[in-house]
Amino acid sequence: MLQFRWLKTVQWKVVVIYILLILMAMQFIGAYFAREVERYYTNNFSETLNTQATLLATNLERYLRTGKEGKDQLSDEVKKDIDVLIDNMVKLNSANANVQLIDQNGTVISTTEGDRSIIGQRTSQMEVTIALLGTRNESLRIDPRTGHRVKVLVVPIKGDNIIYGAVYMVASMEKMYTTIRKIINILATGTVIALLFTAVLGFVLARTITIPVKEMTKQAKAVAKGDFKSGVRVYSEDEIGQLGIAFNHMTTRLREAILQQEEEREKLAGILSNMSDGVIAANRSGQIILMNRSAEEMLQIKMTDVLAQGKTLYSVLRLPPEEEMPLFAESDPLIIEIMLENREVVILRVTFTPLQQDSGKKGGIIAVIQDVTEELRLDQQRREFVANVSHELRTPLTTIKSYVEALLDGVKEDPQLSNQFLRVTMAETERMIRLVNDLLQLSRFDSQGLKLNVRHVDIAQLLRYAADRFSMQSEQQGVTVTLDIPKKLPIVSADPDAINQVLDNLLSNAVKYTPEGGSIHLRAKAETKANRVKITVSDTGIGIPSRDLKRIFERFYRVDKARSRSQGGTGLGLAIARELVRAHGTDIEITSEWNEGTTVTFWIPMAEGGTG
């Protein structure tokens, strides 16, 4: 079947249609023409034969009448004359007929046939019998010897109502039919030539249609593949030319539309990828079809993996499947907690927006995800903070109240005891003042931001002062404070008050949490490459368990609340220190070993070109 594919082309269809049309037309024309030609020739043939026979009969009537007068038989002379007459007549004529002259008894008197033996014989042919009765008649026959069609015409010879005999003529029609066949052959040859011409012409004409159509098909395929570069050639101004112009116009419009669509898509992709909210789009069955970068980061998965594994929105968000949870009807955001692959727990707020198709059927679904872990954590911290503050204030107030009550109840009578009670009250009041001051400072940081008074500072001098400040206090506790700094330390760019406070907080902690016999080291080192000075406060104190280290800089976070409180701590020292250090654009770190000691390190930026 494959090898006849070309027959299915328009070009060949046009050729076949042309050929069929011509064939059909020629069929009708041929049939009509052949019939007419045949009729014309047969009529002509019959007429010629009739005329000849009539002429012969008229001429021969005289011979037969005069030749027979008074005699039974025609004389040989008359017979000869008759032979000559018939011969001449027949020769003159084109019908090429054989003629017999038959007398009224049915006996052949003369014949033009080569075989003259029939002369004198009686003929019993039907036509002759009828003619001898006075009626001319003719018939068509097949000559048994040659197999040709022949026409037999018998005309009576009569005069004055007496029948003298009959002229019997038999003429072959084969010549006539040969002529007709020749004419029809000419017609058939003409038809074949016309068909060939038509085929060639049809082929050429069809090409004028098919070539532009083929070009348009090629171009349409190219357009489908996204190649809009070239247009089709317009060959003419006819309908096909108009189609070409329309096609080119359509290509241009399509290109514009696609470019516009691409621009829109890029815009949308840009918006999606730069959104801080995560966006996941899923199809009707919940299968994910798109995820933006934020969603990938929040869920710690790659869109390519999700698409490759055909994951659903429900599985990615660890939700029950759709049947159990008809999300499409959901409109309120969901708060969900997910444990990521790195075991980190995140809290997400997910808003589902179902997409509806124009027909009203449910389309896909868009999930907008916000990572609210930090938000909720801060919220939690804030709540904890308020609770902590209340608790921290209530404890000293309760202590003060009970001591004052005791004094009022009579303890004041005992000067030694009342002195001791008043000292405790004083210490608690001071702690409360410290706490309120620390809180005020932190709240100032939070509300107004930390305003530093940065200038060039001789850090070595600051460190020396700090060590001096604490050595007295620590000596009383049996703890040594050592200052270990290089001779030359660069000038730093910092707020000296802030740095002093950081050092105070760190050193007071070191003193607080180092038992008797321990030591505290205050060190400094220039890190020229990083353009900063590293300061460490290390002690040989009680240390901090590693699980607490992560949260130790949080406000009010303390390892041992009772111990801290008894030491006069507020739980805010490290939080304040971190705020102050970070305000300098650097950081603070803590390392510690339980029962071995603690090291707090922080950095201060060097002043530009400052060397100390």
Minimum CB separation of residue 603 from ligand ADP in Å reads 18
Per-residue burial over 503-524, b if 16 or more Cβ lie within 10 Å, else e, is bbbbbbbbbbbbeeebbbbbbb
DSSP 484: E
How far apart CA 507 and CA 537 sit, in angstroms, is: 7
Q: In this structure, are residues 112 and 90 in contact, taking their beta carbons and an 8 Å threshold?
A: yes
Q: In this structure, are residues 457 and 533 in contact, taking their beta carbons and an 8 Å threshold?
A: no
Minimum CB separation of residue 438 from ligand ADP in Å reads 8
Which of positions 161-200 make contact with ligand ADP (CB under 6 A)? none
CA dihedral 304, 309, 313, 316 (to 10 degrees): -90
Q: Single out the residue of 560, 582, 586, 591 in contact with ligand ADP (rule: CB under 6 A).
A: 560
Structure-block tokens of residue 193: 């030539």
Number of residues that bind ligand ADP (CB under 6 A): 23
Q: Single out the residue of 110, 112, 564, 601 in contact with ligand ADP (rule: CB under 6 A).
A: 564
Neighbouring residues of 260: CB distance < 8 A, sequence distance ≥ 6:
none
Q: Report the residue number, 283 or 536, with the smaller CB distance to ligand ADP.
A: 536
Q: Single out the residue of 101, 288, 498, 510 in contact with ligand ADP (rule: CB under 6 A).
A: 510
574 binds ligand ADP (CB under 6 A): yes
- Interface mask toward ligand ADP for 20-59; x: CB under 6 A: ----------------------------------------
Give residue 231's identity as a one-letter amino acid code.
Answer: G
Q: Single out the residue of 67, 165, 231, 541 in contact with ligand ADP (rule: CB under 6 A).
A: 541
Q: Report the residue number, 210 or 509, with the smaller CB distance to ligand ADP.
A: 509
Neighbouring residues of 569: CB distance < 8 A, sequence distance ≥ 6:
509, 512, 558
539 binds ligand ADP (CB under 6 A): yes
From 156-164, 333-341, 408-416, 536-544, give the range in contact with ligand ADP by CB under 6 A.
Answer: 536-544
Which long-range contacts link 252-255 to residues 24+ away (Cβ below 8 Å)?
252/228, 254/223, 254/228, 255/228
Q: Where are the beta strands (DSSP E) in 298-359?
A: 334-339, 345-356
Q: Report the residue number, 234 or 389, with the smaller CB distance to ligand ADP.
A: 389
Task: Report residue 596: phi and psi, to 5°.
Answer: -115, -40
598 binds ligand ADP (CB under 6 A): yes
How far apart CA 16 and CA 545 sit, in angstroms, is: 98
Q: In this structure, are residues 288 and 282 in contact, taking their beta carbons and an 8 Å threshold?
A: yes
Which of positions 488-507 make contact with ligand ADP (CB under 6 A)? 505
Q: Single out the residue of 542, 580, 588, 607 in contact with ligand ADP (rule: CB under 6 A).
A: 542
Neighbouring residues of 62: CB distance < 8 A, sequence distance ≥ 6:
none
From 11-19, 337-345, 528-536, 564-572, give the range in contact with ligand ADP by CB under 6 A.
Answer: 564-572
573 binds ligand ADP (CB under 6 A): yes
Give residue 520's identity as a one-letter amino acid code.
Answer: I
CA dihedral 119, 121, 127, 129 (to 10 degrees): 130
Burial tier of 66 (Cβ tally within 10 Å: 0-12, 13-18, 19+):
exposed
Minimum CB separation of residue 434 from ligand ADP in Å reads 9
Task: Report residue 337: phi and psi, to 5°.
Answer: -115, 125
Q: In this structure, are residues 392 and 571 in contact, taking their beta carbons and an 8 Å threshold?
A: yes
481 binds ligand ADP (CB under 6 A): no
Minimum CB separation of residue 508 from ligand ADP in Å reads 7
Q: Single out the residue of 558, 602, 607, 612 in contact with ligand ADP (rule: CB under 6 A).
A: 558
Which of positions 245-284 make contact with ligand ADP (CB under 6 A)? none
Minimum CB separation of residue 522 from ligand ADP in Å reads 12
Minimum CB separation of residue 399 from ligand ADP in Å reads 17
Q: Single out the residue of 244, 396, 496, 571 in contact with ligand ADP (rule: CB under 6 A).
A: 571
From 241-249, 254-262, 294-302, 542-550, give the range in contact with ligand ADP by CB under 6 A.
Answer: 542-550
Q: In this structure, are residues 38 and 229 in contact, taking their beta carbons and an 8 Å threshold?
A: no
For residue 173, count other CB atoms closer than 10 A to its CB.
21
Minimum CB separation of residue 477 from ligand ADP in Å reads 13
Interface ranges with ligand ADP (CB under 6 A): 505, 509-510, 512-513, 539, 541-544, 552, 558-560, 564, 569-575, 598
